A = this chain, B = another copy of it.
Amino acid sequence: MSRLSINQQTVKQLSLPELVKACAAVGVDKVGLWREPVAEYGLERSARLFADAGFSVTSLCRGGFFTAVEPETRRRALDDNRAAIDETAALGAPILVLVSGGMPDRDLVGARQRVVDAIAELAPYAAERGVKLAVEPLHPMFASDRCVVSTLAQALEIAERFPVDQVGVCVDTYHLWWDPELATGISRAGDRIATYQLADWITPLPAGVLTGRGQIGDGCVDFPAFTAVVESAGYDGPIEVEIFNDELWRRDGAEVVAEIAERFPACVGKPS
C-alpha cells in the first residue's frame, strides 16, 4: 500500500488540493502529475502543496511528441521537452514520461528514428537536472496518431542506447498486457524500469479509444501475475494507477481514490 501512487488524470475532476486530501484520507502519499493542471495551479505552488503535505511526486506526464519532420516544429518540440524536464525537477519528481508521437506520413521507420534522435539531445539535459526520461510504449492502436513506440522491446532498444540513470522505460499494464513477449521484455528491462503504471483493459472501446481504460479489477489484466514479473525484474518503486475513463471522471473523485486504494492490495498481491 505504501507503493501506491494516484495519477492525477485518474481523478482529474479534483483540484490539486482536493487530490491531496482524497489521497491522505486513505493513507496514500504519492501522486503522478500532468503538466497542464500543474501549470494552471502554478509550478512553485504545486511543488509546495505536495511537499508541505509530505507527498512524493512519482512522475510527471508528459514529454515527447518527437516525430515531426519540419525543423521548426521539431525545434519547438525539443524546447517544450526541456521545459518539461525543468518542471519535473522543480516538482522534485524523478521521472518524466515520454509519449513519442505519431506518424506525420507513412514512414514509420523514419518516425521511430526521430524519436531516438530527440532523446539523444534531451538525455544529458535531463541528467544534469536529476531527471530520468521514461520511454513509454503505447498500445499499437495508438501507433499512427500518438506513439510510434508500441512494444516494450522497442522502448528498451531506445533506452539501452543511453546510460541507465538517464533513460528508462515506463511499463504500463494497459499498453502491454497482450504482448506475448512481455515476460521476456520485463526481465530484460531490469533496472531500466523507471515507472510501473496500472490500468485495466475493458471492452467495448469508446470512439477515439483514448478514454476506454478500466478501473483496476474491472477487466482482463492479470495484475498479480504482471506485478510478479515486474518485481522479479527488480523493480520495487512506486506503482501508479493511471486511468482515463469517462465514467470514473463523472464520479466523486475522493470515492474513486478510495476504491483504488481498496482494490490495490489484491491487484499487486501474490498471483493466485
Contact = CB atoms under 8 A, between A and B. Distances in A.
Contacts of A180: 112, 150-151, 153-154
A222 to B, nearest CB: 4
A269 interface: no
A219 B140 contact: no
Copies in the complex: 2
Contacts of A72: none
A126 interface: no
A82 to B, nearest CB: 28
Nearest to A157: B180
A199 B139 CA distance: 20
A219 B139 contact: no
A153 B180 CA distance: 9
Nearest to A221: B106
A25 interface: no
Contacts of A221: 106
Contacts of A203: 144-145
B106 A222 contact: yes
Contacts of A70: none
Contacts of A219: 144
Contacts of A177: 108
Contacts of A145: 203-204
B207 A204 contact: yes
A121 to B, nearest CB: 22
A222 B112 CA distance: 15
Contacts of A103: 220
Interface in A180-225: 180, 201, 203-209, 219-222
Nearest to A205: B209
A38 B101 CA distance: 44
A229 interface: no
Most interface-central of A154, A201, A221 (chain B CB within 10 A): A201
A143 interface: yes
B207 A143 contact: no
Contact of A139 (B107, B141, B204): B141
A222 B207 CA distance: 25
A154 B178 CA distance: 12
A80 interface: no
A160 interface: no
5 contacts: A106-B221, A139-B140, A141-B205, A150-B180, A207-B207
Closest 3 CB pairs of A and B: A143-B178, A207-B207, A141-B141
Given A153-B180, A205-B208, A205-B209, 8 more contacts: A106-B220, A107-B222, A112-B180, A140-B178, A140-B179, A145-B204, A205-B205, A205-B207
